[in-house]
Amino acid sequence: MFSTGGLRIDQAPPLSLPFRFFVTAPFFLLLTALSLLFYGPDLFVTPLAPETIATVHLVVLGWVCMIMFGAMYQMIPVLAGIPVPWPRWVPWVHGLLVTGVVAMVFGLTTGFHPWVLSLASLSLGGAVFLFIVPVLTALIWAPSRHPTVIAMRIATVSLLGVLLLGSGFLLEYAFGFLDLDRSALVTTHLIWGLWGWVGLLIAGVSFQVLPMFYMTRDISRRQSLLILSAWSLFLVGQPLALFFAHSNPWIFWLPVAFFSLALLGYTANIGSMLWERKRKKMDVTLRFWFLGLASGLASLATMASWMATDADSTRFLFGVLFFFGLASSILLGMLYKIIPFLVWFHRFSRLAGLVEIPMMDDLVPDFSLRWQFPVHFLVVATAIVAVFWGGWPPVTQLLAFFLAADAALVLYTLWFALGHQPPQQESIPDFASFFKDTAWMAEPKDP
């Protein structure tokens, strides 16, 4: 099913560590569906409306980041070859992240109560800080020098920048002290969060995950480092260009050119790897990857249009293409590989060859495999229609239904996989008794 060459499977953390994040994430997607039903067309009026910001962060922090936090704890020991230190902090990271998202949504939708927003800022800041410190420590000391590790480092530093700006925004909402170029800061917050943290982490992990799960060729180190270099120039250069573009408008587009080359180079390499894969069978999860790559290119074109036209509709379209089309599609594709692999590895791998155990494909329900992609495709398509129709209530309600179905299928898959338990200990052969019973087969000693 996959190749594990060069990976440190023995370093994998306990199953409960990443799964607490995986199980929580779909519930925030359900809350997003409820928000769509409750606020309806009001969410599509302006991107900076409080209800819109709250709903977007239900997706960003509650769904996307929740999965990515759990995945990072799992992937760093395996891909980078070093365990994440201070694992006792993980329940605190999870609890503070949940508390912070809930407090943020409640505070933004109930009149900017200052103490609730302060709680959200402190909780989210604490969660990200307790996540970044051990993760960045592990990545700095990691023995692996694979481009995936380099991408993880850059993505984690980007997350730190997102934390600092986001906490400042929440406190400014509460107490009103921020006297800076708010538009430039919001754009920087978006760039570091969307393309620095989410986008770059997905791109970096794919360098190793695709050869592992789909038997593709490895991307060359030179190509991957060129992609990461151009991507990093964008992350550093674009915020600077935002502050100097007033006097020299052409400066604004220079970092975008680097990023366009990085994203096009990444898409061309990954598309080629998937097309030339050794395992030619069209895996259901591959459909998520192709949808994600196509959405990524479309979101890049939309981002350029957004910067040129300054229209709110292009901002909404970019958000839909990025969060539902790119990020969610690829995360779902990886989850349908990671979930059965982790359950099989932790519960059944040691029993292979001793007793009858399920295959990894047996740990994913056929119902979910059949319907998850069509339902998610409908989420993306309906969200695009909702943007162009200004959040027309029937379309918004339909989007909420498909989004809830998307989350429900993920929850069902998790429940189904975790429901498989290893056989009882007494059913495992006792090798000590085997050798005892066959002692008579030893050659007789000379008298």
Q: Write out pLDDT tens, residues 44-75.
A: 888 878 899 999 999 999 999 999 999 999 88
Question: Given this model, what pLDDT does residue 110 score?
Answer: 83
Q: Where is pLDDT greater, at 280 or 22?
A: 22
Q: What is the domain partition of the chain in residue ranges?
A: 9-420
Read off the pLDDT band of 78 (50, 70, 90).
confident
Q: Write out pLDDT tens, residues 377-430.
A: 999 999 999 998 877 888 999 999 999 999 999 999 999 999 888 876 444 444
Question: Given this model, what pLDDT does residue 13 score?
Answer: 79
Read off the pLDDT band of 315 (50, 70, 90).
confident
Q: Where is pLDDT greater, at 173 or 263?
A: 263
| 10 pLDDT above the threshold of 60 | no
What does the pLDDT average to over 26-41?
Answer: 94
Read off the pLDDT band of 432 (50, 70, 90).
very low
Question: Given this model, what pLDDT does residue 435 score?
Answer: 38
Q: Where is pLDDT greater, at 188 or 33?
A: 33
Question: Given this model, what pLDDT does residue 421 score?
Answer: 85
CB contact set of 414 (below 8 Å; sequence gap of 6+): 19, 22, 23, 26, 339
| 368 pLDDT above the threshold of 90 | yes
* Average pLDDT value over all residues in the chain: 84
Question: Given this model, what pLDDT does residue 428 score?
Answer: 46
Phi, psi (5° rounding) for residue 364? -120, 125
User: What is the CA angle 182-162-335, rounded to 5?
Assistant: 135
| 301 pLDDT above the threshold of 90 | no
Q: Where is pLDDT greater, at 430 or 328?
A: 328
Read off the pLDDT band of 439 (50, 70, 90).
very low
* CATH (one of 1.20.210.10, 1.25.40.10, 3.90.230.10, 1.20.120.1200) for 9-420: 1.20.210.10
One-letter-per-residue 3-state SS of the chain: CCCCCCCCHHHCCCCHHHHHHHHHHHHHHHHHHHHHHHHHHHHHCCCCCHHHHHHHHHHHHHHHHHHHHHHHHHHHHHHHCCCCCCHHHHHHHHHHHHHHHHHHHHHHHCCCCHHHHHHHHHHHHHHHHHHHHHHHHHHHHCCCCCHHHHHHHHHHHHHHHHHHHHHHHHHHHHHCCCCCCHHHHHHHHHHHHHHHHHHHHHHHHHHHHHHHHHCCCCCCHHHHHHHHHHHHHHHHHHHHHHHHCCCCHHHHHHHHHHHHHHHHHHHHHHHHHHHCCCCCCCCHHHHHHHHHHHHHHHHHHHHHHHHHHCCHHHHHHHHHHHHHHHHHHHHHHHHHHHHHHHHHHHHCHHHCCCCCCCCHHHHCCHHHHHHHHHHHHHHHHHHHHHHHCCCCHHHHHHHHHHHHHHHHHHHHHHHHHHCCCCCCHHHCCCHHHHHHHCHHHCCCCCC
| 333 pLDDT above the threshold of 70 | yes
| 172 pLDDT above the threshold of 90 | no
Read off the pLDDT band of 445 (50, 70, 90).
very low
| 238 pLDDT above the threshold of 70 | yes
Q: Based on the number of CB atoms within 10 Å of its own CB, is 200 exposed (0-12), middle (13-18) or buried (19 or more)?
A: buried
Question: Given this model, what pLDDT does residue 373 score?
Answer: 96
| 137 pLDDT above the threshold of 90 | yes
Question: Given this model, what pLDDT does residue 424 score?
Answer: 67
Question: Given this model, what pLDDT does residue 426 score?
Answer: 45
Question: Given this model, what pLDDT does residue 12 score?
Answer: 67
Q: In the chain, what percentage of residues exceed pLDDT 90?
A: 43
* Short-list 204, 151, 212, 201, CA closest to 337: 212
What does the pLDDT average to over 331-344?
Answer: 91
Identity of the highest mean pLDDT range in 249-263, 415-429, 432-446: 249-263
Identity of the highest mean pLDDT range in 210-219, 229-238, 252-261: 229-238
